[in-house]
Amino acid sequence: MQGRYTEAKESYEQVLQAEPHFAPGHYNLGLVLYAQGHFDEAVAHYRKALTIDPTLIAPLNDLGVALYALGRTEEAIRCFQRAVQLKPDFSEARNNLDALLGLQTEQEAGEQRRRFIPYECSPILLKKVHPE
């Protein structure tokens, strides 16, 4: 599979050498880079595609996915929110937004719960409060 990604990457790079302002080329190269685990590079190409054509929705969603992979949750949420704002029926972006907001809520709830557990709490009580 890695060989196909390498081929695809080389093809998109050739296309972009000939047509540097071809938004779909930047988007597709971003997809390949993301699949290879090169999240920073994928982000750069998704952003380039959106700079060229701000009306594209899929790169906005995938930019959010790549930003989340980099641990940049707040930026990812903003991407998903913008995608949903531009296209309310874009289910991928809505699902990603709901998932991240849900994760955020769970993390905040977990942090809140930890504040109320006494320092010298027994392990049995901790398991009841934090069944992980």
Q: Give the mean model confidence (pLDDT) for residues 70-98.
A: 92
Supply the CATH number for residue 8's domain: 1.25.40.10
Model confidence pLDDT, tens digit, residues 99-110: 888 876 666 645
pLDDT for 1 equals 59
When divided into structural domains, the chain yields a total of 1
The string over 53-85, giving b where at least 16 C-beta atoms fall within 10 Å of a residue's C-beta and e elsewhere, is: eeebbbbbbbbbbbbbeeebbeebbbbbbbbbe
What average pLDDT does the segment 110-126 reach? 42
Q: What's the mean pLDDT in 107-118? A: 48
Over the stretch 38-62, which tens digit does the pLDDT of each residue have? 999 999 999 999 999 999 999 999 9
Between 78 and 105, name the one with better pLDDT: 78
- Residues of the domain holding 38: 2-129
